[in-house]
Amino acid sequence: MLLFLLFLSCTRDFFIAHEIDKITYETITETEYVYIQDTAQPPADTSPDLMPLWVDSFVQPNTINGLDIIWVIDKSGSMVNEATQVILGIETMMNALPQTNWRLVMINISSLHTINDQTFPLIPGDTIVDAQTMYYSMTGSGREEGFNAVTKYIAENPYSATWMRDDAGLLIVFVSDEDEQSYPNLYTANMFTSWLGSYRQDFYLTSIVHLQPADSICNPSTTAAGDKYIEATDNTGGTVIDICTDDWTAGITDAVIGTDPYEYFELTKNVVYPQYLQVFYDGLPAPMGSFTYEPSNNRVIFNPMPDGGTLVEIGYYYQPYH
């Protein structure tokens, strides 16, 4: 009898312990659920002292001082059928450019021709007829060496210095149905962009070339793809256009838009307490009245625009819960 009572006693203790464990588990689960719901609520006190600060920044492009444009065009026999597209592309660019302060020249993709080229650039007020005259006055190309053509035109052709401006932005557009062949000089994309960066602070690249067959509408050959042009363009955030497409308009328009200086800047976070928003130019407070904050579009508008090369910093409080 004593042994039986001891067994019952042990059994009861076991079941009691099990029931407690079960109750404790359910209580913990319920508490976790309530805690998760509670963390989504913002703090009641949203005074500036509790709001985080944020700084957006950018460097104003030198295109505010003007834009020099060089179209580097393959005039070899295989490009004859692209003449209409090239002219249309240049017309699209001329229409997309601002009404003042740009200059555009077309040079041959062969450096043998560009080193002595003395073509006067197109300027605001010129027409598509002027562009056609410039295009058809260019002679046929030899080797497709766009990198060499650019460097020799800028560095070794004295005429380029008569119209190109050191303080302006530079946009280069390559047009070719073959890959870049500037061996042995500047024969890699990185070498070319490094050289270009040492010459001009703000430069932009656009390439109208064959893509690899898997990405192209018409290119059947991997050897015809403009891989080096594409690499240089991609490395600098430029625009690549498939030469096989029927319409280059959208890509060329994007290339122009990408060179625009900032008239306004769209902020990356939602502003709270806009009265405390501050703008700095090269580390100094922007002049009074030179900017306004537009709440409806969450952007800062500059009047006048900052000078080219200016580091612009915009500091403000933001709401992290929205």
d(CA 182, CA 75): 16
Tokens of 61: 């492009």
Q: How does pLDDT run along the chain (322 residues), one tens digit per residue?
A: 333 333 233 333 322 233 333 333 333 334 333 333 333 444 445 566 678 999 999 999 888 889 999 999 999 888 988 899 999 999 999 999 988 899 999 999 998 889 999 999 999 999 999 999 999 999 876 788 999 999 999 999 999 999 999 999 999 999 999 899 887 766 799 999 999 999 988 899 999 999 988 888 886 666 688 999 999 999 999 999 999 998 999 999 999 998 999 999 999 999 999 999 999 999 999 999 999 999 999 999 999 999 988 999 999 999 886 5
d(CA 30, CA 182): 71
For the chain, domains (ranges, CATH) are 48-60+262-318 (no CATH), 65-257 (3.40.50.410)
d(CA 165, CA 170): 9
d(CA 193, CA 229): 10
Report the side by side order of strands in the sheet with 299-302.
264-266, 299-302, 291-294
Distances (CA, A) of 271 to 169, 212, 268, 290, 299: 32, 45, 9, 19, 9
d(CA 299, CA 293): 6
pLDDT at residue 322 in the model: 57
